[in-house]
Amino acid sequence: MTVELTVLTWNVQGSKGLDVADVAAIVVAARPDAVLIQEIGRRQATRLARALGMGSVRWCFKHRPPGARAEGLAIISPHDVAEVRSFVLRRAPRWSWRRRVGLAATVLNAHGAIDVVNVHLSPHDASRDRVLEAQNAVDAMHARGRIAIVGGDLNDGPDAPVHEVFRSAGWIDSSSLAPAGVGVGVNTAWRPGSRRGRSPDQRLDYILVPDTLDVVRSEWAVDVDELDRVARLSDHVPVIATVGLRPHR
């Protein structure tokens, strides 16, 4: 018997403020088993988990800009989580946005356990840094020694060198494994400028899965007619992937 597990990733741009109620309404409609959030503060993550009615929330520090609140990564789940660990992907002063981290946790449910890993790689023209960060993430996952699903904002396109790092280690873009004709949306983020009334124009956000898993779907977590609603909340669209898992016996 195969059971399904759904992972959602979203860069919520929490430093601009977080509409907890609206973000929660979008997330809960997707019925995820694990929610991977980038650019979120600790208190924002706690409030979001409460609004979602999910009992497990883990947050890790990324950086704290001078005069602003700290931001980081969060993993939220309706299931129990264990073996939570953060790790540094790129070293920089703790006040610098250049500092990059990852957050891993084991999601436990009635059918077994699987790791989820949340990452947010360097932006702009830092392709070489992203490759090194991806390798650090791969090393951290290998050290855990469990099947893992990776989600987050990779800040690069689907043909960028960073994907080869993950592919060579066995993690594949879930959208490439989904059945033909399944899925809504390709690009996942807007370039700077007004977002209202226009579709996302770049692809930065991914859910990567081991090539041994079956992907049931990989798509936006919202319908096309909800894009303006999402655009008011963030410059990224939430992405989901559902995979088939064989339960432990």
Residue range 14-50, pLDDT digits in tens: 888 899 999 999 999 999 999 999 999 999 999 999 9
- pTM of the full structure: 0.95
Count of structural domains within the chain: 1
Q: Which domain holds residue 209?
A: 3-245
Q: Give the chain as a DSSP string.
A: --EEEEEEEEE--GGG---HHHHHHHHHHT--SEEEEEEE-HHHHHHHHHHHT-SEEEEEEEE--TTS--EEEEEEESSEEEEEEEEEEE---TT-TT-EEEEEEEEEETTEEEEEEEEE---TT-HHHHHHHHHHHHHHHHHHTS-EEEEEE--S-TTSHHHHHHHHTTEEEGGGTSPTT--S-S--BPPSS--TTS---B--EEEEEETTSEEEEEEESS-GGGHHHHHHH-SB--EEEEEEEPPP-
CATH of the domain at 235: 3.60.10.10
Residue range 61-116, pLDDT digits in tens: 999 999 899 999 999 999 999 999 999 999 999 999 999 999 999 999 877 789 99
> How large is the average pLDDT for residues 132-159?
95
